A and B are shown apart, each in its own frame.
Chain A
Amino acid sequence: MNIFRLVGDMSHLLAIIILLMKMWKSRSVAGISGKSQILFAIVFTTRYLDLFTSFVSIYNTSMKVFFIGTSYVTVYFIYQHFKPTYDSNHDTFRVEFLIVPVGGLAFLVNHEFSLLEILWTFSIYLESVAILPQLFMVSKTGEAESITSHYLFALGSYRALYLLNWIYRYYFEGFFDLIAVVAGCVQTILYCDFFYLYITKVLKGKKISLPA
């Protein structure tokens, strides 16, 4: 464990808590893409299947349980509990255009041709594009609530910090995972436009409107 990965995990945790608090306090899921949240639930489910077979640490296991649990609660909030406030007309990204290519790529490009490893690779590739429905929805609605912007900033920062973690681990531990690094770069690059708007607008008290 290193500071970059720890801060990254905390940023990820914060993003999830911000989202749940926004939904619970405002009793609304307006502006939130249910499709992205479904993709995140798939990402965690396929990545953490080793939850019961390989123990890394208490921290690792408890975070995995938290991420899986909250991802399903979030999907439940959107499609059941606060369904009347779900804006399905603006959440129209065709996720099959993400899942099929990502599934095919995971089958072809992976570290080991085993079920668990292919599912882990699928999860890594899927996570890199899972935010697209949400960014697409923000561009369609033309703006995002500031709380949603904070959620996106924390979520985008987590994988950016993981890039620093991989640089650290390469030099100090000789650890290098090309699949995770490439997907992490793609994932972080997708947030660049949003990061720019967040820093130039939201931090000055303005609202975000995409496309800028």
Chain B
Amino acid sequence: QPPKDAHDEL
């Protein structure tokens, strides 16, 4: 499962 707030980075 992707980490919490997945891929909120560029």
Binding site for B on A (CB under 8 A): 5, 9, 12, 50, 54, 56, 60, 63-64, 67, 111-112, 117, 120, 162, 165, 174-177, 180
Binding site for A on B (CB under 8 A): 1-10
**A120-B7 Cα distance, complex, nearest whole Å:** 9
Select one of B1, B3, B6, B9 contacting A176, CB under 8 A: B3
Interface of A is mostly: helix
A-B pairs with the 3 shortest C-beta distances?
Answer: A111-B2, A177-B3, A56-B8
Interface of B is mostly: loop
- Contact B5–A175 (Cβ < 8 Å): yes
Select one of A5, A12, A50 contacting B7, CB under 8 A: A50
- Contact A9–B2 (Cβ < 8 Å): no
Select one of A67, A117, A162 contacting B9, CB under 8 A: A162
**A67-B9 Cα distance, complex, nearest whole Å:** 13
